[in-house]
Structure 1
Amino acid sequence: MDQHLFYYYFLPFISFFFFFFFLFILSKFLLQIPQIHKNVPPTPLSLPIIGHLHLIQDPLHRVLHTLSLKYGHAFILRFGSRPVLVLSSSSLVEECVTHINVLEYQPCGPYCSPLSRPVKHDYASMIAAHYGPYWRKLRHVTTIELFSIRRLNTYSVVRQDETRTLIKSLMFGILHNNFTRVGLRPRLQDMSFNIITRIVSGKRIFGLEVDDLMADLNFRQMIMDMFKARARYPDELLSFMQWINIDDMKKTLLRLKAKKDACSKDLLDEFWKKDGVSNKEMIDGILSLQESLHENYSDHILKGIMLTLLLVGTDSSAATIEWAMSLLLNHPHVFQKVRAEVEENIGQGHLIQENDLHKLKYLQNIVNETLRLYPATPLFVPHESSNECTIGGYHIPHGTMLFVNTWAIHRDPKVWDGPTRFRPERFEGLCSKGYDYMPFGIGKKQGLGTGLANRVVAMALGSLIQCFDWERVRERLVDLNEAKGLTIIKNEPLEAMCKARECMFNVLSKVLDDS
């Protein structure tokens, strides 16, 4: 009987143990970077097949920061068989950009998953495109035709109008000029969405004034689904997980692609029906390019540009304003200081205009400090080494993916005094912090919407400070925990006590009369 139990229970256990031991040894040869005669970055202990995927948790930037404290500012992870270099030092980032310049995003490389195509519009967008002639073409369109100073000035009326709409929505929600509890996140998101959609297409998408409620809801749902998909299915894991098809991943991404195609087709079809080009919306500028250079600007490329603007430019500004208001509510002395600056430079006779923003230096410091503590994208858009190179004295093989932990660099105690403190004064007299401060990325892949985002955030934040008094809902500080995902947003939507300022009644009455 004992022999029977041995054969049926113990031998399978021994076989199972040796099988996984064999996989572990095999992974050391197949998955680990060859270290013979090469100085490679340190790496944590990995598991067979999956590499370091067991270490990946939300929020990812905090996990990578914790690992950097143990393994240094440059270390290697493995996502399956994919090597990933993680950098948490501004000097190493500077070395990559200024001296090496070989870390380029290559979505069509051997590790690319076909499942990532739907969320990247088949790599037609500038964010996903590999650096080269096609990428330079997209860069020219977005930089010269869409985000030039002249174009940004053209859209100032849109930003001013949507800021007024934000103020009106708060006025309608306040009862009898008393402190009233209001939710800021949906109002800020509507404002941010409408600014982008009006700039791109000339149409408001969200709000009570929108005629087509179903179009409003459908577009909102598409945007939210896209953000959820980016958080659930990061591109870096798709190539490893595509054979598993977790949660019907492929069906989900293809369904989102169909929604995106339908949305962009509707925009193009509507504007092709127009008699002439008004040159007031981005889509007009894009279509005029297509008319003159059709072979260079196909409908597929134009859809990729438009959807990049809609998806990338809509949520980050709202999140930054929400973080800034949360920090101001937790630091009343900072709020009073910026309120005094607004009173001194703007007064109470009119709302803040965009041409007033250059007078509000401390307000801009608050925006900068908010982006330092809570950059919208805490990790750079992933890049890839196109050749073997050396970074920080370490050998980096061809095909290594690069993660730059902006969040960790912004909180480096060797660079920033009291890095976790909210102290806008640290930016006084500073024109640039170089590679120590990169909320919108840096180098060739730097975000093109920086100028637009700064204007939107500063205008909206300044108007909220100028027009309303604010208090916390409770005596305890506003919760600053982050939600799960690849972008930094508050876990709990911000709610605050709001009251219109008596000294601004005349101005606010005019705003309501214009509605």
Structure 2
Amino acid sequence: MEESTLFYSSLALLFLFLAFNLLFQSKHRHENLPPSPLSLPIIGHLHLLINPPLHRPFLQLSKKLGPVFSLRLGSRLAVVVSSLSVIQECLTKNDIVLANRPNLLLSKHLGYNHTTVVSAPYGDYWRNLRRICTIEIFSPNRLNKFHGIRKDEVRRLLLKLCHNSREAFAKVELKSMFTDLILNNLMRMMAGKIYFGEGVSDDGEAKEFRELIAEVVEYSGAGNPADYLPILNWAGNYEKKLLELFKRMDGFLQGLIDEQVLKKAKAEIDAQVGEERLIDESDIAKLPYLQNIMSETLRLYPAAPLLVPHKTSDDCTIGGYNVPSNTIVLINAWAIQRDPELWDDPSSFKPERFESESKDHGHKYLPFGMGRRACPGASMAHRMVNLTLGSLIQCFEWKRVGVEEIDMTEGKGVTMPKVEPLEAMCKARAILHKDLYRAA
């Protein structure tokens, strides 16, 4: 009994010695680090990751500590940036240093050991992947070849909505429909299969896939404590819960709820497209207000509020502070896109701001990132969202379920899914009877 007690006491002392030694060395190895809030022994600031979404407490910390602050997440140093000028410094002056990604459990097990275009380290291999994506997947020619798939999936969505709303307003749950739309579009592009929607909703494979995706979203992002303190992985079994990541489309319909925005968008579509045929991708260029709605939605509700984490491959300076190599850098795009110093009335939904403000707003508009590691699929996302949004506005009348505002509270996950599924009342317009059912 005494030997066992002595063993565990020695082990505990050794662990504490190593921990304090590591802390002492790290403090003296790197001077002039960004300011940091008070931390806890061993875990550092991991307790801040317990209650996502992270971008909101990060914004509050930036108001206290400044636009650049550091966190000690277990054994790893992280720097959080919430200033446009510093972000530009990160992604322009230091773009090569910050062109890497941190080695997270998600990219290790679901990214084929960090070999995908999103998670691969910066270098020749990643450049080849990026070139393949640009030429073979997201080029205008390739996107045009998949135009029929996107058009067909939007038609399937319109038919489903129309079934219960031909004569009067009907309550519809849109979250699952948008999930079906996006996943069907991706699966048809990749495998030529339809897994979701009418006729396959009860299919065992499709049901399992949908459940896996929901779980992946919950455990993805930069807020997984097991990435920073390995013992949590052993205790919580996080690695076995990591599954393939798909982006979710959920928040962009907020613009549909504003009556005046809807009327203006509908008038633009009716004037440019007419009421005898459905909107097509070729019409989008003639619909600037529709594009502004999409831009404003992605400003308020970016798909990834903290973007995909970066990692320094060498020592650099960020915002006047020294940042050592192998540091995780998180870009709070959500905070930048709601910064009152950059945007007029930033919390309000105003598509018109993309008309009245300078057209050169790309430097502060970051839903797809910036620099070398910007999202290569941005052009496909623009086409899909604009076509879907335009079709929903053209083919249906929309209103809220009740008098309450839509609950936009964010849940867990890299893609900021809503806690409450989006529900609205829709009623089919006459154009569906003229075109959609005739085509069907």
Common topology (TM > 0.5): yes
Which position in structure 2 is the counterpart of 1:207? 197
Alignment of 1:32-181 (within 5 A): 32=27, 34=29, 38-56=31-49, 57-101=51-95, 102-107=97-102, 112=103, 117-174=108-165, 177-181=167-171
Alignment of 1:439-454 (within 5 A): 439-454=367-382
Contact 1:116 1:235 in 2 (8 A): no
Partner of 1:123: helix, strand, or coil?
coil
Which position in structure 2 is the counterpart of 1:424? 351
The Cα of 1:368 is off from its aligned counterpart by: 0.3
Which position in structure 1 is the counterpart of 2:7? none
Q: Determine whether 1:348 maps to 2:275.
A: yes
The Cα of 1:435 is off from its aligned counterpart by: 2.4
Shift in alpha-carbon separation, 1:236–1:128, aligned structure 2, 3 A? farther
Contact 2:80 2:329 in 1 (8 A): yes
1:253-286 deviations in Å (ceiling 9; x for gaps): 4xx4xxx6xxxxxxxxxxxxxxxxxxxxxxxxxx
The Cα of 1:41 is off from its aligned counterpart by: 1.3
Which position in structure 2 is the counterpart of 1:485? 413
Contact 1:378 1:405 in 2 (8 A): yes
Which position in structure 2 is the counterpart of 1:507? 435
Contact 1:190 1:206 in 2 (8 A): yes
Which position in structure 1 is the counterpart of 2:8? none
Contact 1:326 1:494 in 2 (8 A): no
Structure with max Cα Rg: 1
Partner of 1:402: helix, strand, or coil?
strand
The Cα of 1:237 is off from its aligned counterpart by: 4.0
Out of 194, 202, 214, the residue aligned to residue 184 of structure 2 is 194
Which position in structure 2 is the counterpart of 1:240? 229
Counterpart of 2:396, as a letter, is F
1:355-412 deviations in Å (ceiling 9; x for gaps): 0001110010010000000000001211111111112211112221101100001011
Counterpart of 2:329, as a letter, is L
Shift in alpha-carbon separation, 1:472–1:418, aligned structure 2, 3 A? same
The Cα of 1:239 is off from its aligned counterpart by: 4.1
Gaps of 5+ in 1: 1-17, 261-310
Mapped to 1, the partners of 2:145 and 2:384 lie a distance apart of 14
> When the two structures are aligned, how many residues end up with a matched partner?
425
1:71-93 deviations in Å (ceiling 9; x for gaps): 11111111012110111112111
Counterpart of 1:436, as a letter, is K
Partner of 2:220: helix, strand, or coil?
helix
Mapped to 2, the partners of 1:129 and 1:141 lie a distance apart of 14
Query: In terms of mean alpha carbon deviation, does 154-163 or 424-433 score higher?
Result: 424-433
Partner of 1:103: helix, strand, or coil?
coil
Gaps of 5+ in 2: 1-12
The Cα of 1:507 is off from its aligned counterpart by: 2.3
Counterpart of 1:103, as a letter, is L
Partner of 1:484: helix, strand, or coil?
coil
Contact 1:60 1:486 in 2 (8 A): no
Out of 300, 303, 325, the residue aligned to residue 373 of structure 1 is 300
1:20-68 deviations in Å (ceiling 9; x for gaps): 9999976751454656xx4321111111111111222211111111111
User: Alignment identity in percent?
Assistant: 42
Shift in alpha-carbon separation, 1:173–1:132, aligned structure 2, 3 A? same
The Cα of 1:459 is off from its aligned counterpart by: 0.6
- TM-score, with structure 1 as normaliser: 0.77
Shift in alpha-carbon separation, 1:406–1:21, aligned structure 2, 3 A? same
The Cα of 1:159 is off from its aligned counterpart by: 0.6
